[in-house]
Structure 1
Amino acid sequence: MNKFAMYGKLTAHPGQRDALVQLMLEAADQLDAMEGCELYIINVSEEDPNVVWVTELWRDAEAHAASLKNEYVLALIQSCRPLIAGVEPVKLRPVGGKGL
């Protein structure tokens, strides 16, 4: 299986989580048409009022890398930067389970 998965922990500046979530949800709508994106879910932490988790599943690592060159994605990243205090990506290789 060549799928590529990633969890992204985005820590918003205090009081900016909801604004960040709104931008990320707009991005999720655009990803419906993006080649290779199979899953893109925005989650909020129940323990930390500043944390947003992004769950991603891609056809393969190349599809994910290509998405980071997309003009829309690059513009979204730029618009989100002022709201984000920190980013912690966790790259994964799915090996099986329900939904794969």
Structure 2
Amino acid sequence: MTFANAGSLGTAPGRRDELVAHLTRRSDALAAIGCLAYEVGVNHDHPDTVFVLELWTSEQAHRASLELPEVQESIATAMPLLSGEMGGFHFDVAGSPLRD
């Protein structure tokens, strides 16, 4: 069953675009471990927030991704850009009207 993880990342003032550029760098390692989609977005009503929507083959694949050296390095690089405000939720996808 597909696993979805949706979250918001508060950024230090003025650092949102820098975080977006970092999070949208190509990562073949994510696809190889089971990431189906990793979408990064912004909302102009929230100028210091980045939104992320992830779809994974399973919750286990998502957890395993956090152990990858590339992901750990990416998190370490992103940390100075963050304000510490984070939100989100996750769920198992039950279905979609876009596919059988």
Does the alignment reach a TM-score above 0.5?
yes
The 4+ residue runs of structure 1 with deviation greater than 4 A are none
Larger deviation, residues 67-76 vs 29-38 = 29-38
Give 5+ residue unaligned stretches, structure 1: none
Distance 1:41 1:59 in 2: 15
Q: CA deviation at 1:33?
A: 3.8
Residues 8-34 of structure 1 show CA distances to partners (whole Å, capped at 9, x for unaligned) of: 1001011000111111011xx104643
* Per-residue deviation, residues 31-52 of structure 1 (Å, max 9, x unmatched): 4643211010001112111111
CA distance in structure 2 between the aligned counterparts of 1:74 and 1:89, rounded to whole angstroms: 20
Distance 2:69 2:38 in 1: 18
One-letter amino acid of the counterpart of residue 75, structure 1: E
- State the aligned residue count: 97
Q: What corresponds to 1:52 in structure 2? A: 50
1:92 corresponds to which residue? 91
Q: For residues 73-92 of structure 1, what are the structure 2 equivalents within 5 Å?
A: 73-85=71-83, 86-92=85-91
CA RMSD of aligned residues (A): 1.5
Note the C-alpha offset of 1:99: 5.0
1:62-97 alpha-carbon deviations (Å, 9 max, x no partner): 000000000000000000001011222311111111
Equivalent in the alignment of 1:13: 12
C-alpha distance in structure 2 between counterparts of 1:15 and 1:94, whole Å: 34
Question: Where does the alignment leave 5 or more consecutive residues of structure 2 unmatched?
Answer: none
